[in-house]
Amino acid sequence: MTDAPSRETSTQETYSPGGFCPLTFHDATEGFSKGTDTPRDYLERCLATIASREPVVQGWVCMNEAGAREAADASSARWKSGTPLSPIDGMPIGIKDLLETRDMPTRMGSPLFKDNHPKRDSALVQALRQAGAVVLGKTVTTELGMSHPGPTTNPFDASRTPGGSSSGSAAVVGARMVPAAIGTQVVGSVIRPASFCGNWALKPTQGALNRGERQGLSHSTVGVHAGMAEDMWLVAAEIAKRAGGDPGYPGLFGPAAPPDPRKPARLAVLHGEGWPLTEPATRAAFERVLAALGGRGVALLLPGENKLLDALEASVADAMSLSTEMCAFEMRWSVENMIAQHKDGISASLRARLELGRAMSTDDYRDLLRRRTEARTRLAALAPLVDGFVAPAAIGPAPKLGTEAGTRGTIVHTTGDPSYNAMSSILGAPVVTVPLMAVGGLPVGVQVMGQQHDDAAIAAIARWMAAEVPPVEANG
Amino acid sequence: MTDAPSRETSTQETYSPGGFCPLTFHDATEGFSKGTDTPRDYLERCLATIASREPVVQGWVCMNEAGAREAADASSARWKSGTPLSPIDGMPIGIKDLLETRDMPTRMGSPLFKDNHPKRDSALVQALRQAGAVVLGKTVTTELGMSHPGPTTNPFDASRTPGGSSSGSAAVVGARMVPAAIGTQVVGSVIRPASFCGNWALKPTQGALNRGERQGLSHSTVGVHAGMAEDMWLVAAEIAKRAGGDPGYPGLFGPAAPPDPRKPARLAVLHGEGWPLTEPATRAAFERVLAALGGRGVALLLPGENKLLDALEASVADAMSLSTEMCAFEMRWSVENMIAQHKDGISASLRARLELGRAMSTDDYRDLLRRRTEARTRLAALAPLVDGFVAPAAIGPAPKLGTEAGTRGTIVHTTGDPSYNAMSSILGAPVVTVPLMAVGGLPVGVQVMGQQHDDAAIAAIARWMAAEVPPVEANG
């Protein structure tokens, strides 16, 4: 295990959604079968990219290169003998540093967990290893998956944030260091960084992928970042097959293979809290996406056109505060433990979350649960009317490092505004973000949200959009 | 912190439900206020009982006597100055050794966790300390809360099991070492040991009391063992007030003070899997309880008299296997981790549970979820018809140590048959067990089950039964 190299300078990339060539894996396995390529060679190419990009990107907390090479060699032998364990056998993958890995520490972006190293694999890490994937390293998270940022920079502009909390997972995929990485989301921690880093990403239906030891927040999920839709789906499906969903949940529904692209008949446009805050160029770019959808015969249900959609909009109009308050209440006892044990080492923004939780009563929390349940009822009411929902995945491209755009009240937030992201979290709804736009040479995603358990259906719609809707490039 | 003393011989007690004088706390606080008694003196009396009984009972894994004395002194000062933190300020309490305590290790009844000592308090432990309770020590659990037993013996006959998995919590309350102790239940681990040890116990509605770091099994709960109903309720209410319920659950409903006794209009008799296995003397004793209820004007709905009750009976007819299989699937990844890390140190019965989990598919698990949901629907259908359900809390008194009465298939089980206990677990329903019967000089409880969130209502019914139904003593 090696710690990540320290910061150096390196060249910056300019992003174009049509021109960007992501690192993919699903199309490499044919070479593994034919003998023209091997998982070990694939890994070495990833390591070469990491050596080149990591000094600036700083997406990794630590890596187990020796273990990865050993796993890649074992995978190479399996592909050679025609006995791969799964379609992702040999795939190098990054794991957000909130989730336990038996061969690497789990530092959680907090100095309090610097020496934390349980010798266990989180359920999905265990599943990935069983599927033959090469668990290469741990990726940077904000402090405990909340607001306080780590060192990671945006792979397309090192002066900008990669987003958070899954900062490293998004950045290492955007920088083509690995084809996929695991993130987690409780407010907007998968979809926003994916948008900022040009990833495909799946934030699945609540409970669809096993969160292992991290069951403490009632609407958090794990999610998958990838360069391409196929790899995104394959990773999710292989995890689901082996680790199932959270306890008490039925797990991910859908085929083992990536769902084929499928044109939706009707999509609703969801504004949520994000639209009023959306930057003009991003708004214009998204409207071009909507026009392209309309031009291809997709009926669009717009805000104000339907009472059920209006009711849903009203329910997600304060999704951010609802999500933040629920988390603050749910996590207060574990933060209290950190303070009892360490006193210091906790950021001001985390302390602000604790104060929020401390000020809440059980009845306050029950009322949040009621609101969340009502919002979910309103989402379900739209099932007969639309095949899915579309919205920008962020209010604009990644802001400059240190910009406090996402700050709410006393909780300082510098990894970009999550206004478009909390809605799917409180709804427990699946979302796929598609890297379909560029604004000022930086990526901005389009998100497709569905009903609970429609993960495969929205992945199919997202793939259709990627194939049929021309990428949009706008000046910043 | 001191390890528990090793085994020695001591006198055995014979149990009589009418004559047994449990250790109580709620009635001691008046003395604390008046200055005729102090929490420190109360603790010293507990420690004296422990010194006398523990060599045979072996209910404690370890104790923090120094920390307890310090906490008791602080509590004494608060009572003296008229500023107690809660009605349980100063109460000495035992914590099942599955739950984390910052000042003591958490060994989980497994040699693999011998040195496990996270410096954290589980949510409810934190809440108890905030309420002023004196966290005295960790109580023996079976291996990881499953089948393989620890060293604890029954406080009323040292040749018999105290039940499991909350073996120590039940025994230290039954032995009058402490007035209350925390247990956990996923199949029958609160209600059965409480029945065997003459405790009052509350297995609350699923999610009603925060399980802290132990969120991995979808229908497990924490529960409270106590010598008296009042202490049982106060402990639950003070935890709920501070730690709330599980993430995503509304927490315990009910008053801060113990609910007053309340006569039910109508109770259903639930046979479940237990009745056919119930020992004749216990059956006869329970029928005397039913006769007493009838004699006091409580209408009884008997099996076979109502289609909705028959439907519920059909749903709980295989509650044991349903619960066991769900747990096996949910825990398989964490047991896999133990095997990957240690190879040995896992009991044959736990290995059998792992094999059961390994053999299951996601669809198998989904079908168990469906059955559990249907069972809960059938319970809810009876809400307009009855105020609660009564059944024996176990098929008989505690069996001899080593008896494999609860064994199912390959999973050897020596802490007594849990056939009466799994039904409330899969239903997520609250249960209170009342120490109302003795069979052959050993305790057997009567359980009162309610609808989800009826915790306070069934506690009120249970108190009424304890007050109005004459205790039953039967020959073994």
Q: pLDDT tens digits for A52-91?
A: 999 999 999 999 999 999 999 999 999 999 999 999 999 9
Cβ(A262)–Cβ(A362) under 8 Å?
A: no
- Tokens coding A395: 């209010």
pLDDT band at A11 (very low <50, low <70, confident <90, very high): very low
Q: How far is B152 from chain A (nearest CA, A)?
A: 30
Q: How far is B434 from chain A (nearest CA, A)?
A: 29
Cβ(A233)–Cβ(A459) under 8 Å?
A: yes
pTM summary value: 0.95
Does the pLDDT of residue A193 top 90, yes or no?
yes
Does the pLDDT of residue A5 top 70, yes or no?
no
Task: Give the single-character DSSP code of B112.
Answer: G
For the stretch A149-154, contacts whose Cβ atoms lie closer than 8 Å and that sit 24 or more positions apart, written own/partner, are A149/A401, A149/A414, A149/A415, A150/A58, A150/A61, A150/A109, A151/A7, A151/A58, A152/A57, A152/A58, A152/A59, A153/A56, A153/A57, A153/A58, A153/A401, A154/A196, A154/A197, A154/A398, A154/A442
| Cβ separation A250–B366 shorter than 8 A | yes
Nearest to B352 by CA among B148, B215, B171, B199: B148
Q: Return the C-alpha torsion angle A178, A182, A185, A191, nearest 10.
A: 30
From chain A, which residues contact B within 8 Å (Cβ)?
Answer: 102, 119-121, 123, 126-127, 210, 212-213, 215-219, 240-241, 243-244, 247-251, 329-330, 333-334, 336-337, 340-341, 362, 365-366, 369
Q: How far is A260 from chain B (nearest CA, A)?
A: 23
The pLDDT value given to residue A92: 98
Helices (H) and strands (E) in chain B, counts: 14, 13
Nearest to A57 by CA among A133, A115, A120, A4: A4
The pLDDT value given to residue B37: 98
Cβ(A75)–Cβ(A88) under 8 Å?
A: no
* Count of positions (residues) in chain B: 476
| Interface predicted TM-score (ipTM) | 0.93
- Residue type (1 letter), B224: V
Cβ(B219)–Cβ(B453) under 8 Å?
A: no
Q: Which helix (H) or strand (E) holds A445?
A: strand A442-449
The DSSP secondary structure of B62-86, one letter per residue, reads: EE-HHHHHHHHHHHHHHHHTT--SS
CATH code assigned to A2-243: 3.90.1300.10
Mutation target vs B (from A333, A368, A371, A455; most B CBs, 10 A cutoff) = A333
Distance (Å, whole) CA A92 – CA A133: 6
Residue B149: left if φ>0, alpha if ψ -120 to 50, beta else—which one?
Answer: beta
- Our measurement of the distance from residue A289's CA atom to the centroid of its chain's CA atoms, rounded to an integer in Å, reads 22
Cβ-based contacts of A212 with chain B (< 8 Å): 333
Among the partner-chain residues A243, A362, A366, the one whose CB lies closest to the CB of B333 is A243
Cβ-based contacts of B120 with chain A (< 8 Å): 334, 337, 341
> pLDDT digit string (tens) for A245-266?
999 999 999 999 999 999 999 9
Among the partner-chain residues B212, B329, B337, the one whose CB lies closest to the CB of A333 is B212
Q: Give residues with Cβ within 8 angstroms of A370, minimum separation 6.
A: none
pLDDT band at A14 (very low <50, low <70, confident <90, very high): confident
Strand partners, B101: B104
Distance (Å, whole) CA B91 – CA A414: 46
The distance between the two most distant Cα atoms of chain B, rounded to a whole number of Å, is: 63
**Buried/exposed code over B84-104 (b: 16+ C-beta within 10 A; e: otherwise):** bbbbbbbbbbbbbbbbbbbbb
> Looking at chain B, which residue has its C-alpha nearest residue A337?
B120
> Looking at chain B, which residue has its C-alpha nearest residue A245?
B362
Q: How far is B124 from chain A (nearest CA, A)?
A: 9
Nearest to A141 by CA among A197, A179, A185: A185
- Tokens coding A139: 């990726």
Q: Give the count of beta carbons closer than 10 Å to the beta carbon of residue B109.
A: 25
Q: Give the count of beta carbons closer than 10 Å to the beta carbon of residue A380.
A: 15
> pLDDT digit string (tens) for A405-420?
767 777 777 889 989 9
Among the partner-chain residues A210, A240, A366, the one whose CB lies closest to the CB of B250 is A366
Q: How far is B352 from chain A (nearest CA, A)?
A: 19
Cβ(A135)–Cβ(A125) under 8 Å?
A: yes
Is it true that A2-243 and A266-317+374-474 share their CATH fold? yes
Distance (Å, whole) CA B472 – CA B1: 41
A441: exposed, middle or buried (Cβ count in 10 Å: 0-12, 13-18, 19+):
middle
B204: exposed, middle or buried (Cβ count in 10 Å: 0-12, 13-18, 19+):
buried
CATH code assigned to A266-317+374-474: 3.90.1300.10
> pLDDT digit string (tens) for A267-289?
999 999 999 999 999 999 999 99
Nearest to B180 by CA among B209, B221, B223, B148: B223
Q: How far is B418 from chain A (nearest CA, A)?
A: 22
From chain B, which residues contact A within 8 Å (Cβ)?
Answer: 102, 119-121, 123, 126-127, 210, 212-213, 215-219, 240-241, 243-244, 247-251, 329-330, 333-334, 336-337, 340-341, 362, 365-366, 369
Distance (Å, whole) CA B127 – CA B114: 26
Task: Give the single-character DSSP code of A147.
Answer: S
Cβ(A425)–Cβ(A189) under 8 Å?
A: no
Under DSSP, is residue A304 helix (H, G, I), strand (E, B) or coil? coil
| Cβ separation A244–B369 shorter than 8 A | no
Q: Give the count of beta carbons closer than 10 Å to the beta carbon of residue B189.
A: 32
Distance (Å, whole) CA A440 – CA B434: 71
Number of cross-chain residue pairs from A and B with Cβ atoms under 8 Å apart: 87
Q: Crossing angle for the helix pair B348-358 and B319-342, nearest 10 degrees?
A: 110
pLDDT band at A2 (very low <50, low <70, confident <90, very high): low
Q: How far is B110 from chain A (nearest CA, A)?
A: 16
Least confident of A9-13, A104-108, A458-462, B36-40: A9-13
Mutation target vs A (from B238, B242, B329, B337; most A CBs, 10 A cutoff) = B337
* Ranges of chain B with pLDDT below 70: 1-13, 406
The DSSP secondary structure of B273-311, one letter per residue, reads: TTGGG--HHHHHHHHHHHHHHHHTT-EEEPTTS-HHHHH
Under DSSP, is residue A27 helix (H, G, I), strand (E, B) or coil? coil
Among the partner-chain residues A126, A249, A340, the one whose CB lies closest to the CB of B102 is A340
| Cβ separation A250–B365 shorter than 8 A | yes
Q: How far is B216 from chain A (nearest CA, A)?
A: 6
Q: Give residues with Cβ within 8 angstroms of A271, minimum separation 6.
A: A303, A313, A391
Distance (Å, whole) CA B412 – CA B405: 9
The mean pLDDT of chain B is 95
Among the partner-chain residues A218, A249, A362, the one whose CB lies closest to the CB of B247 is A218
Q: What are phi and psi of B431, to 5 degrees?
A: -135, 140
The pLDDT value given to residue B411: 79
The DSSP secondary structure of A149-173, one letter per residue, reads: --S--BTTBTTB---SSSHHHHHHH
Nearest to B15 by CA among B399, B396, B394, B444: B444
- In whole angstroms, how far apart are CA B107 and each of A299, B20, B73, B158, B411? 60, 32, 28, 23, 22
**Structural domain spans, chain A:** 2-243, 266-317+374-474
| Cβ separation A102–B340 shorter than 8 A | yes
Does the pLDDT of residue A12 top 70, yes or no?
no
> Looking at chain A, which residue has its C-alpha nearest residue B252?
A362
The pLDDT value given to residue B6: 46
Question: Strand ranges (DSSP E) for B131-241?
Answer: 134-139, 180-185, 200-203, 221-226
Helix%, strand%, coil% for chain A, nearest 5: 40, 15, 45
| Cβ separation B333–A119 shorter than 8 A | no
Among the partner-chain residues A121, A215, A251, the one whose CB lies closest to the CB of B216 is A215
